[in-house]
Structures are given as structure tokens and as C-alpha cells.
Structure 1
């Protein structure tokens, strides 16, 4: 399973945001990486801004280039506003749903749980992180994995009312995917229109 395995703090510093979750380095060095990173004042071009937004989205959701392009093409063919549909499809990925439900502390950890067959969808084990969860699907923890320390630690004190498109059942350690999220409810700081503009040039 291909995924980004490079230095994560460096990526977070490039965008000035905790892309991969809370990052102590970002609070200490909140300027771009590289020599004299905090002294650079070069104006970003329109293309540079569009490219940066696409890169940010890819790193945030843990999707590589070809997969991201395929998701964009699918969103462009679907009904609705392309940028919003793209973000909704990214939010519907199984690894992201596991993360949003609080079962894992980060998307990378969620991807690992899925890959190791600790997650079930409608009672069946699914080990494909990119699996598209559909409205009405129930995503939960496999029975023998419910006592895993990483899952218990992640769920402890997690606010399950944060995301209105998900409904959590504490007894069964599972959550129902009620519907695809509205754009206003997606907390990620991504300007999806810039991504649409970038791909429209290609």
C-alpha cells in the first residue's frame, strides 16, 4: 500500500498547518523549511497557489498523485459542484471515517488499523483504506480488536458529536455514516476551487 513516509513536520511547516495532526515542531518553528525559510518574502504565483492547495489536500487525506487525479476525474463527472464532491469523496474514504469516528488518533493510524483488518463495515472486515463508505453503512471495530490499547486511547474522551454526518454507538464501538458531509461541516482548511482551477488547465 503506497503512502507518504517522508518527514511530516517538514510538510506541516511548508503549509503552516498541522497537516498530519498536532505537531510540536510547528509551534516552535512556524516558518517554511529550508535555509532562511523565515526570511523569504517571494510572492506566490497563481499556479503556485493552486499546486500548493492540491498538495495540501493530498497530504491531509494521505492520497498519492494518481489516486487523487482519479478521484478528481470521478468528481468532475458526478452531479454537483466538483470541488465539493471531491472533498465529500475524500471524507467518505474508510480510513478517514475511522479517523473521524475517533477510533484512531490520526489518518495514518486509521489506515494501519484498516490494513491490519481491525475494522468492519456492516459486520464484514474491509482492509482497503480507500473503500468508499456509503450513507447507511456502519463502520466499527472488529470484536477481537476492541481491547487494543491504541483504539481505547483514541476513543477516551473523544467528542463524537463533532461531525453531524456520523452517529456513534458506544456499546458496539461503531458509527453510522448518515450522509456525505456538507462542505460547511468539513473542518479542513482546503480551498477546493483552486484545485479545480489547476486541473482545468491540464
Structure 2
């Protein structure tokens, strides 16, 4: 399965914003904020920035969204096509599809510190959806779906220590967490106002519709 394996801090430097690809580690220690590192990566990173065209701004916004959710280009374009086919605003549909991915839900529920870690946990088969083992990070959940840690894995040291942290972690209002059962339920599709995201998804729509 294709995935990005390079240094994730380089992605934040390229986009010029914190993408929180390492979870809480990005709050404690960030190369983007380190003296002299708030520049684009590469030998031309310190050169004077040129004025961006409309296309360049749309491309950068698309890259920010894609990298935030840890999705490669081919998968991201498929999500956009699916969003465009749904009724309603394409931009909001796209965010809903990305938020309803299993790896993102595992992250939002607090079972992982980052989406990359959540993706690894899902790949290793630690979760079930509606009682059925699901190890596909791109699986799209629906309202009323229940995501839970497999019974055989609850005794693992990772999930034991995780259970102690879950009660202290805030989760979105469109999700419900049951700490004792180590499970979460999708109450409804998230709206744009439910998501505090540092990008303009409408520019992503403009990029693909150019």
C-alpha cells in the first residue's frame, strides 16, 4: 500500500502552516517554529518568495488538505469525484468524506495521537466496525456506525494505557465515545462549523474544476 515515508516536518515547512502530522508532538516541538527553519525545504527555500498565481494558491490549498489527512493524490482525487456526485456543496461533501474515513475516525476518537498512527493501528487489524474486523484505513463509515477496539486486543498494553487518557480527551460533538467499551459511535455527518480546519476547501474545488 502506497504511503508517504519521508520526514513529515518537511511537509509542514513546504505548506508554511502546522498540519499537526505528529499529533501532540507538534505542539511541544515544531521545526516550523524553530529559529531559521520557517522556510521552504530545499536549497532554494531561503530565496525570496515570488507572487503566487491563482492556480498556485489553489494547488497549495489542495496539498494542505491532502497532506493533513494523509491521503495520496490518486485516492484524494477519487474522494473529490465521489463528493462531486453527492447532492449539496462539493466542498463540504469532500470534508465529510475525509472525516468519515476509518483512520480519521480512530484519530478523532482519541485512539491514536495522529492520523498516521491511526492508519497503522487500522492496518494491523485492531478495530472492528459494527462488530466486523476492518483493516482498510480508507473505509468510509456512515452515521450510526460503531468503531471499537477488538475484544482480543483490549488487553494489549497500548490500549490499557490509552483507556486512561481517553476520559481526558475531548472529542467532536458529532461523535460519541464509550471509554469502558473502548468504542465510539458516529452520531451524524459533520458540518463545516463542526470542523476547525486551517484551510479553504472551496479552493480545492476550484483547482479540480479549472
Q: Which runs of 5+ in 2 are unaligned?
A: none
Cα distance in structure 1, aligned partners of 2:161 and 2:99: 23
Q: Is the 8 A contact 1:160 1:167 kept in 2?
A: no
Match for residue 179 of structure 1?
188
In the aligned structure 2, how far is the partner of 1:151 from the partner of 1:168? 15
- 8 Å CA contact 1:167–1:178 kept in 2: the answer is yes
Q: 2:65 aligns with which of 53, 57, 68?
A: 57
Is the CA contact (8 Å cut-off) linking 2:124 and 2:135 kept in structure 1? yes
2:179 to 163, 166, 170: 170
Tell me, what secondary structure is at the counterpart of 2:147?
strand
Report the secondary structure of 1:188's partner residue. coil
Which contiguous aligned blocks of 4+ residues in structure 1 show a shift greater than 6 angstroms? none
> TM-score normalized by structure 2?
0.89
Indicate the SS of the match to 1:187.
coil
Cα distance in 2 for partners of 1:18, 1:154 equals 25
State the aligned residue count.
Answer: 201
SS across alignment from 2:33: helix
Q: What's the RMSD between the two structures over aligned residues?
A: 1.7
| Deviation per residue, 1:91-129 (Å, 9 max, x gap) | 000000000000011111111111111011111110110
- Residue 44 of structure 1 is matched in structure 2 by 52
Range that drifts further, 75-84 or 140-149: 140-149
**Paired position in structure 2 for 1:5:** 5
Matches within 5 A, 1:1-202: 1-19=1-19, 20-21=21-22, 22=26, 23-28=29-34, 29-35=37-43, 37-158=45-166, 159-201=168-210
Secondary structure of 1:163 counterpart: coil
Quickly say closer, same or farther: Cα 1:25–1:74, change in 2 above 3 A. same
- Cα distance per residue 1:59-86 (max 9 Å; x no partner): 1111111111111111111011001100
